A and B are shown apart, each in its own frame.
Chain A
Amino acid sequence: MTHIPGSFVTREAGGAGGAGSGPGTPGAAEAPERPTAADLERVRARDPKALEAFFDRYFDRIFSLAYRLTGDRTIAEDAAQDVFLKVHRALDRLDPSRDPYPWLVTIATNVCRDLWRSGAYRMGRRAIPLQDQDGNEYELPSGGESPEAELLRTEREQQVQLALAKLPEGLREAVVLHAYEGMGHDEIAVAFGIQPAAQRKRYSRGLAALAVLLKETMK
């Protein structure tokens, strides 16, 4: 378990089925090591080198999260750009004593929520997930599996992504942030200003709905 001092994050690193409010191994990449307070001070001062390091540390996870929340690569790029634009504008409010990652996740989720409600997302939903604008297959890490296994896994991920996209946004956020992103229920509740019990309930309902959707897909 990685305890992140000064933040409301207690993240478990690896190991499915761990106890506590954290979800264990998230689907996304492991949470990056938290930058030092000195690093974050330089980020606050908008030092270009520190900003590059900050970007390198967090971009992949934010993009991945945006993709899982929106199910569309182009919209995920829009979201990621918007997130880092908002972050840059709000760097004065960055607290170097706290882990910035939950803050980034909150911004990313809010940006995605805005995009869901926009015409852009509704149009994007017509596109086939996991394909880019030219219809090319989306690149996923192969993990060294056989071509058949890789194909099966990719198809399975497409089905899961499609099912996620059908969830109401509140349930989708609850499921993606907890099960995929690895945030604890308490952490999610604090980030979105809701009661932890409400977050747990949303997660439970989201999983139940997702299970039904996946069952229908598998028929």
Chain B
Amino acid sequence: MTDDRDSLTPETASAEEAVRSLRPVSARPEFKGRLRAEFAEGRLQPRLALVKREPAGGAWKGAFLIFASAAVAAYIVLQLNAGPDWQVRKVQGSGQIRVDGHRYSAGKPADYAALLRPGSRIQLTGAASLQVAAADNLIMEIAPGSDISLPRAPGRWWDRQGLANIRAGELRITTGRAFPGAGLLVVSPDTHVMVTGTTLAVICDNGGTCVCVCEGQVKVGRELDSMVVVPQGHLRYTPRDGSAAHAADIRPTERVALSDLRDKARRVIGH
């Protein structure tokens, strides 16, 4: 049987003989006839039965692959859309910074820079001020003694509305070349400030909130549906006691500070 036949034991020789004596088997005549005709005419197709018979593995595997591909694609799109992270640009003065309750020396931004995320609460004490930037969307300067929450930087294609809170102190904001079409709502204890492309300051003191507009215009109001426009070069003060808000020319100190911020920011984030 084989050229190694001499080495076969009686058991293996018997097994070989058992296989060798298996008879040929025949296909169903109707299957053979159909296959013959299709082969001769070049009409053969892969067996559908194969596809049908493995739905448990095949369909689930296919569905899983589709789901996984969609999930990966969605993740990539979400990552591409996500607004830029906040970066520390400049720290001036000495003091401490609390990020979400954790205290750091403001002069050591490496210790806390990675913690600055949308929604992070930042409290500055002492004489420290902090300037943070979200790529070419926004630059915010947080004055000493401020207590704010960072907004989310606008997404690339959607989710382009951000929300910041100021509880105390002063927040100077200037928008960059990637900001048009986006919006930022700054909420203080006294008013709402809608920013759509401008340079402004939101000052929150014990008596109320002052919004100083250096460039462009913003909308300010106690309620979102009753906001008024504050034009460039003006301010609007909203008292905390509920009395009527009033308008005036922008504070000279803010005009200088905001112009300086805008000019420096323009070199960094354009617009």
Q: Do A and B come from one complex?
A: yes
Residue of A nearest to B43 (CB): A88
B contact residues around A124 at 8 Å (CB)? 53
Q: A46-B42, A78-B49 are in contact. Are A140 and B23 (CB under 8 A)?
A: yes
Do B22 and A27 touch across chains, with their CB atoms under 8 A apart? yes
- CB interface residues, A 186-219, toward B, < 8 Å: 200, 203-204, 207-208, 210-212, 214-215
A contact residues around B3 at 8 Å (CB)? 19-21, 185
A174 to chain B, nearest CB (A): 11
Is A76 interfacial (CB-CB < 8 Å)?
yes
- CB interface residues, B 4-39, toward A, < 8 Å: 4-5, 7-9, 11-12, 14-28, 31-32, 35-36, 39
Is B41 interfacial (CB-CB < 8 Å)?
yes
Do A52 and B25 touch across chains, with their CB atoms under 8 A apart? no
Q: Given the complex of chains A and B, what is the CA–CA distance between A123 and B56 in angstroms?
A: 10
Q: Given the complex of chains A and B, what is the CA–CA distance between A80 and B16 in angstroms?
A: 25
B55 to chain A, nearest CB (A): 8
**Chain A interface secondary structure, helix, strand, loop or mixed?**
helix
Is B228 interfacial (CB-CB < 8 Å)?
no
- CB interface residues, B 155-202, toward A, < 8 Å: none
Do B16 and A118 touch across chains, with their CB atoms under 8 A apart? no
Q: What's the interface size class on A, roughly? A: 35 or more
Q: Given the complex of chains A and B, what is the CA–CA distance between A37 and B14 in angstroms?
A: 40
Do A160 and B54 touch across chains, with their CB atoms under 8 A apart? no
Do A81 and B19 touch across chains, with their CB atoms under 8 A apart? no
**Chain B interface secondary structure, helix, strand, loop or mixed?**
helix
Contact flags (1/0) for B89-114 with A, using CB distance below 8 Å?
00000000000000000000000000
Residue of A nearest to B12 (CB): A207
Is A41 interfacial (CB-CB < 8 Å)?
no
Residue of A nearest to B60 (CB): A119
Is B244 interfacial (CB-CB < 8 Å)?
no
Q: Given the complex of chains A and B, what is the CA–CA distance between A137 and B31 in angstroms?
A: 17
Do B22 and A55 touch across chains, with their CB atoms under 8 A apart? no
Residue of A nearest to B61 (CB): A119
A68 to chain B, nearest CB (A): 6
Do A211 and B47 touch across chains, with their CB atoms under 8 A apart? no
Do B40 and A48 touch across chains, with their CB atoms under 8 A apart? yes
Q: Given the complex of chains A and B, what is the CA–CA distance between A178 and B2 in angstroms?
A: 9
Is A109 interfacial (CB-CB < 8 Å)?
no
Q: Which listed residue (B19, B28, B44) contacts A88, Cβ 8 A?
A: B44
Do B22 and A161 touch across chains, with their CB atoms under 8 A apart? yes
A contact residues around B12 at 8 Å (CB)? 204, 207-208, 210-211
Is A10 interfacial (CB-CB < 8 Å)?
no
Chain A interfacial positions (CB closer than 8 Å to B): 16-21, 23-29, 46, 48-49, 51-52, 55-56, 59-61, 63-64, 67-68, 73-74, 76-78, 80-82, 84-85, 88, 115, 118-120, 123-124, 138-141, 143, 156-157, 160-161, 164, 175-176, 178-180, 185, 200, 203-204, 207-208, 210-212, 214-215
Known pairs A60-B26, A84-B44, A207-B16 / 17 extra A-B pairs, C-beta < 8 Å: A21-B2, A23-B20, A46-B42, A49-B40, A59-B32, A59-B36, A60-B27, A74-B49, A77-B27, A77-B28, A119-B58, A123-B53, A140-B25, A207-B12, A207-B15, A210-B15, A211-B14
